Structure 1
Amino acid sequence: MESQSGKLWKALNRGLDICVVGLMAFLVIDVVWQVCSRYLLANPSSWTEELATFLLVWVGLLGAAVALRERAHLGINYLTAGMRPRAQHTAEVFALASTALFCVLVFIYGGTALVVRTVALNQLSPALGIHMGYVYLALPIGGLFMTGYSLRRLAACFFHVTSVDRPHR
């Protein structure tokens, strides 16, 4: 029987996957429209490049969280490959704790401060006219996911759980 927290993480994982795939599909459609309007219609859209940039920010940060969950980030294991298992475990704990701390300080704390500041200044994007706070909101949201996945894997290191954040398919 699956625990309540397991069900919550499964739902969060599924929702994040759907968001990343949906945003990526929207990004592809936007870029294709940009190319078609520029070269086929000879009337380039003024907003497509800005939208593509904003979508790329969201896809990049949420995709980084998915990559962290799936252990798909590049890692340099040259140094740890020759270590004893206990030293490898210590290195993994250090890397996960450092990742969580970085995400909290930079993405969550710094990202939230940036969102608050841009909302207070009423900063709008030039072409689309949307609040830049919506764009920058990707920082704390992506940071929350990355911190959660880092802490979850960190807890698994201490409790020797092997099934944390494995692909849910």
Structure 2
Amino acid sequence: MSVGGIRRAVDRTLDMVVIALMAALVLDVLWQVSTRYLLGAPSSWSEELATFLLIWLTLLAAAVGLRDQAHLGIDYVTSKLQPSGRRRVELFAHGSVAAFCAIVLTYGGSTLAFRTLALDQTSPALGIPMGYVYLALPVGGLAMVWYSVHFLVARLAAPPEASEH
């Protein structure tokens, strides 16, 4: 399978997981509100589940945003630069993102997740091992590293003029 084929598979998988997480979060919050206000007996587990779903959703959707170049950016300074200067700033920014995500999210997050799994720490309401919740850090971090590196390779392979937006 080519790199393009792997990228499309990762893109589709990530999109489907983000959609499923969002749907589950909406249903969970709807259940939480319904039990609280309609039944008068709030669910004991739905708030905790919403928190865990939001953690996973945030980190994976951040990777989708990075892939689609949809993150908020202030381009006042970079718009004043020549194309070669803009290209260098883009390369520096994505290199910094890749390094941060590799060190902090992937390495640090996997250390946290595996140590928490080894300690058998579980969530109070659901009894889910907290290491599975914390695995969102390295999984999201790896996805962001993947997209940052893909962006860097594409920018380095393209002629400098092609990196203009």
TM-score (norm 2): 0.95
- Matching residue within 117, 120, 142 for 1:119: 117
Shift of 1:36: 0.2
**Distance of 1:83 and 1:5 partners within structure 2:** 32
**Distance of 2:11 and 2:60 partners within structure 1:** 11
> Residue 77 of structure 2: SS of its match in structure 1?
helix
The answer for the alignment partner of 1:39 in structure 2 is: 37
**Distance of 2:52 and 2:18 partners within structure 1:** 13
> Residue 73 of structure 2: SS of its match in structure 1?
coil
**Distance of 1:147 and 1:39 partners within structure 2:** 43
The answer for the alignment partner of 2:49 in structure 1 is: 51
User: Which one-letter code corresponds to 1:63 in the other structure?
Assistant: A
**Distance of 1:8 and 1:128 partners within structure 2:** 35
The answer for the alignment partner of 1:129 in structure 2 is: 127
Shift of 1:115: 0.5
Unaligned ranges ≥5, structure 2: none
**Distance of 1:5 and 1:36 partners within structure 2:** 46
Query: 2:145 matched to 1:147?
Result: yes
> How is 1:84-103 mapped onto 2 (pairs within 5 angstroms)?
84-103=82-101
Stretches of 4+ moved more than 4 A in 1? none
**Distance of 1:126 and 1:17 partners within structure 2:** 30
The answer for the alignment partner of 1:166 in structure 2 is: none
> Residue 78 of structure 1: SS of its match in structure 2?
coil
**Distance of 2:64 and 2:48 partners within structure 1:** 24
**Distance of 1:76 and 1:98 partners within structure 2:** 17
Deviations 1:30-76 (CA, angstroms, capped at 9, x unpaired):
00000000000011110000000000000000000000000000111
The answer for the alignment partner of 1:17 in structure 2 is: 15
How many residue pairs were aligned? 161
Unaligned ranges ≥5, structure 1: 163-169
> Residue 62 of structure 1: SS of its match in structure 2?
helix
Deviations 1:98-143 (CA, angstroms, capped at 9, x unpaired):
0000000111000000011101111000000010011000000000
User: Which one-letter code corresponds to 1:57 in the other structure?
Assistant: I
Shift of 1:79: 1.0
Deviations 1:127-168 (CA, angstroms, capped at 9, x unpaired):
000100110000000001000000000011110187xxxxxx
The answer for the alignment partner of 2:4 in structure 1 is: 6
